[in-house]
Amino acid sequence: MIQAAVLFLAVISVGTAAASSEDGARDLRGHELVRFDCASGELSRNVSLFANGTVRIRDLGNQDAGLRLAELAPEELTAFATRLAQIDLTRVASQIRGPSGESIEQCLLRLELDGRAREEYRFLRLAALPLELSRVLTVVDDIVEVAEERDRLSSGLPGGYTPRSGDVLVRRDGSRHRVVRITADGGGAEIIALDAPLVVYLTLEAVRSEFVAIEPGRGRQ
């Protein structure tokens, strides 16, 4: 009877741990570490960095209108979060006034970093901002730059692409690799990383799924 009770409690514990893990995963996907919104008239931009590394950029009212998504590698997410956590905003007012008008962007910055209470700041884009707040916006700009570059690369390789010796390919994480040769059976390729001592053998299908762009001016001569 005691053994049965222990087994029952063990099953409950495992089930609870699994549920907690799933809840944690859901929280990461829905938890915005950074949200930065700016709007002027009909134009607006929303940038969100989620705790799982997803960056979402939404533009409305201009030629680039639309939604873009990109994924940061864990080390990139950690680096950005660390930079933000090192900036002391305790003396920055929650609302900063400045020149106003229909054409001047009104912005909202919300931070909810690990170990810190939610912080929220409203300001006009052209206002004279405190140095600490300007530093945060520099980090946000860097996040956007990485995300937009990754989104650009995610357009993918040309349809039906077949690798050739000398092609320099770009992976989804931005790393660069050179095609050394096609395997003897013609079904794969030997590929070497240009930034690390790494050689891999991939099927042609894997090459098309792992890499998203051919570096211009390389190979194909």
| 119: region left, alpha or beta (phi > 0 left; psi from -120 to 50 alpha) | beta
Residue 183 identity (one-letter amino acid): T
Residue 183 domain flag: yes
**Do 195 and 117 share a structural domain?**
no
Residue 178 domain flag: yes
Using one digit for the tens of pLDDT, what is the confidence trace for 31-66? 999 999 999 988 999 999 999 999 999 988 876 667
* pLDDT value of position 18: 41
**Do 133 and 209 share a structural domain?**
no
pLDDT bracket for residue 171 (50, 70, 90): confident
Using one digit for the tens of pLDDT, what is the confidence trace for 173-188? 778 899 999 999 989 9
Three-state DSSP class for residue 83: helix
Residue 25 domain flag: no
Q: What is the mean pLDDT of residues 130-137?
A: 97
* pLDDT value of position 100: 67
Residue 20 domain flag: no
* pLDDT value of position 219: 47
**Do 97 and 67 share a structural domain?**
yes
**Do 113 and 44 share a structural domain?**
yes
Note whether 169 and 214 are within 8 A (CB). yes
**Do 148 and 55 share a structural domain?**
yes
**Do 58 and 134 share a structural domain?**
yes
* pLDDT value of position 90: 94
**Do 182 and 102 share a structural domain?**
no
**Do 54 and 138 share a structural domain?**
yes
* pLDDT value of position 101: 67
Rounded Cα–Cα distance for residues 70 and 151 (Å):
6
* pLDDT value of position 84: 97
Note whether 84 and 34 are within 8 A (CB). yes
**Do 183 and 148 share a structural domain?**
no
Angle at 87 between CA 82 and CA 89, to 5 degrees: 135
Domain that holds residue 77: 31-153
- What's the domain count of the chain? 2
Residue 117 domain flag: yes
Residue 176 domain flag: yes
* pLDDT value of position 11: 34
Reply yes or no on whether the pLDDT at 98 is more than 80: no
Q: The domain that contains 67 carries what CATH number? A: 3.30.1560.10
Residue 87 domain flag: yes
First vs last C-alpha separation in the chain: 77
Residue 51 domain flag: yes
Q: What is the mean pLDDT of residues 18-23?
A: 43
